[in-house]
Amino acid sequence: MSPGTLARNAPAILTLATLILAMKLPVVTAQTRPGSDVEAQSFEVASVRPNNSGPAGLAPLRALPNGSVLATNVPFRGLIMYAYGLALYESVEGDSEFLEERFDVNAKAATPPKPGRPGELGGLNVMMQNLLVERFGLVVRWAERLGDGYVLLRSRSDGRLGPGMQRSDFQCPRTTPIPPDDARRCDITITNNVMSVAGHRMVDFARELSYYYDAPVMDRTELDGWFAFQLRFNARDLPRSLRLLQPRPLSDAELGLPSFLTALQEELGLRLERQQVTRRVLIVEQVHALREN
């Protein structure tokens, strides 16, 4: 999931971007390392100003298709999370109280860079890294620690998949545009009580689940290729942050559907198992007050 316009989805469709809007969190990205096709390294223009007006409002950080990054009243910690591609369940550590200071950022690239592929940083992330180094003297290092998380496994002893899991010739993320006559989309969506996946690898599906459970989910299915499915389940079983966004009350029939974890096993032949997994931590070693623009 690369950064993009956060409000681009229809109200009835629940995606990761919508989840982050509802939770009032400052960052949306699942990227983890620089991509090989990052073109530009610095914004053409960038303004960074302190903002001491109080807690941030809805959608405080937006990365736009025109190559702009707009942040309003975002903690410095949140700017770091965006710049270095931390997921919401990953953390920034450091002794400085400066991490909670809030800023407005209005930055624009000379030309819109290509978005990062899943697992990679896009050009805007790298530009934000360089902006934080230039204006704040930021120095960071990565560390890994064991913590609570999940692994995604096949649930059947013989390894068979469930009846709802189908191989797909529709591959996401895509390197070519979707044909106009193809109604499938790459977003993994939840509409009311139905999760729709048009064509994703299990590693990408596990990454999506990590946002729902606010914890790392590691793919251990050993399944290669792309899969499509529609998973029907009782939406009340979703984490509270997702339940709050249900666009209408559920019918009695929908409330009688299996839980998400049960549907995952029965329909897809997969299961989530809680385990200790490796979490990434970004440690701030140096930061100083904002240099003038």
CB 51 within 8 A of CB 72: yes
* pLDDT value of position 60: 82
Q: What does the alpha-carbon distance between residue 293 and residue 291 come to, in Å, rounded to a whole number?
A: 6
Number of H helices, E strands in the chain: 7, 12
Two structure tokens written together for 53: 């007006």
* pLDDT value of position 107: 96
In the chain, the amino acid numbered 179 is P
Q: What does the alpha-carbon distance between residue 143 and residue 102 come to, in Å, rounded to a whole number?
A: 25
* pLDDT value of position 274: 94
Q: What does the alpha-carbon distance between residue 131 and residue 126 come to, in Å, rounded to a whole number?
A: 9
CA dist 128 → 109, 143, 218, 222, 268 (Å): 10, 21, 28, 35, 39
Two structure tokens written together for 65: 């298709």
CB 209 within 8 A of CB 220: no
Backbone angles phi, psi at 156, to 5 degrees: -100, 140
Q: What does the alpha-carbon distance between residue 143 and residue 140 come to, in Å, rounded to a whole number?
A: 10
* pLDDT value of position 10: 30
Mapping DSSP to helix (H, G, I), strand (E, B) and coil, where does residue 243 land?
Answer: helix
User: How many Cα atoms are found within 13 Å in the side-chain-facing hemisphere of 271?
Assistant: 12
Residue from 142, 105, 99 nearest 124 by CA = 105
Grouped pLDDT means (10 residues each) for the chain, 293 residues = 29 36 34 43 94 70 91 93 87 87 94 73 92 95 92 94 94 83 86 88 91 88 96 74 56 78 95 92 92 70
Backbone torsion region of residue 67, taken as left when φ is above 0, otherwise alpha when ψ lies between -120 and 50, otherwise beta: left
Q: What does the alpha-carbon distance between residue 128 and residue 177 come to, in Å, rounded to a whole number?
A: 27
* pLDDT value of position 248: 60
